[in-house]
Amino acid sequence: MPVLVITGTGTEVGKTVVTAAVAATALAAGRSVAVLKAAQTGVRPDEPGDAAEVARLAGPVTTAELARYPEPLAPATAARRAGRAPVHPHEVAEAAAKLAAEHDLVLVEGAGGLLVRFDAAGGTLADAARSLSAPVLVVAPAGLGTLNTTELTARELRSRGLEPAGIVIGSWPAAPDLAARCNLADLPDVAGAPLLGSVPEGSGALPPTAFRAAAPHWLAPGLDGSWDAEAFRVREAPEAL
């Protein structure tokens, strides 16, 4: 799995923190890691973007960012409004392939959800993943409403000949409500893909050393970690089993 594409079911679901956890866990397993941010929006030129945040939390990873636009909008819209060239899916795929030639693992982080548009032609992260024949990790929220968006994302991936590698809950609450607890069983069912991890809420605020030490315990063996989905369900939601 030299390239892993990471998408969210929407915005603000914990995608960057999950990317950092995957990177930190791979580093701990002795793998070299590169992180590619396809398009960064809503960040000034002098501000650190998502790739830099991944490096801050995870440790020594190679970072790359293809384009940056100042307004917090979909990349195609942000590029148009800024009067700048958009990012095209084939450029994302080419950049990822070059990084894969020099690293054990390349993480390609999208912007928002799977079908957020990169360019006026409607190119998306899904198109880049298809060009790379890369698995796609889906980051989903824990609570009410997540089943619909997660299932839609998984269906769209399969319609394009792609398989979701699995689901990671981007922010597991300290006091999960009934919907979140039930979703531990329902998310893998609706997605037809395994639950591969759960990142505790607030993890992005941890000191980097604490983040790196904890990250392998948030992710399943399929992502180089030690997290056990069944044990997590039994502990967090016994009444929902």
Q: What CATH number is given to the structural domain containing 120?
A: 3.40.50.300
For residue 240, the model assigns a pLDDT of 64
CB 142 within 8 Å of CB 183: yes
Q: Does 22 score more than 70 pLDDT?
A: yes
Q: List pLDDT tens digits, range 132-142.
A: 999 999 999 99
Please state the rounded mean pLDDT for residues 14-21: 97
Q: Does 69 score more than 80 pLDDT?
A: yes
Q: Does 8 score more than 90 pLDDT?
A: yes
Q: Which domain holds residue 96?
A: 3-240
Question: DSSP letter at 219?
Answer: B
Count of domains forming the chain: 1
3-state SS assignment for residue 172? strand
Return the ∠ at Cα 117 (arms to 111 and 118), rounded to 5°.
75
- In angstroms, rounded to a whole number, what is the distance separating the alpha carbons of residues 60 and 55? 6
Q: List pLDDT tens digits, range 199-223.
A: 999 999 999 999 999 999 999 999 9
Average pLDDT, the chain: 95
3-state SS assignment for residue 211? helix
Confidence of residue 241 (pLDDT cuts 50, 70, 90): low
Residues with a catalytic annotation lie at: 37
Q: Does 239 score more than 80 pLDDT?
A: no
For residue 4, the model assigns a pLDDT of 97
CB 51 within 8 Å of CB 109: yes
- The edge-to-edge listing of strands for the beta sheet with 3-8 is 62-65, 33-37, 105-113, 3-8, 136-140, 164-172, 195-200
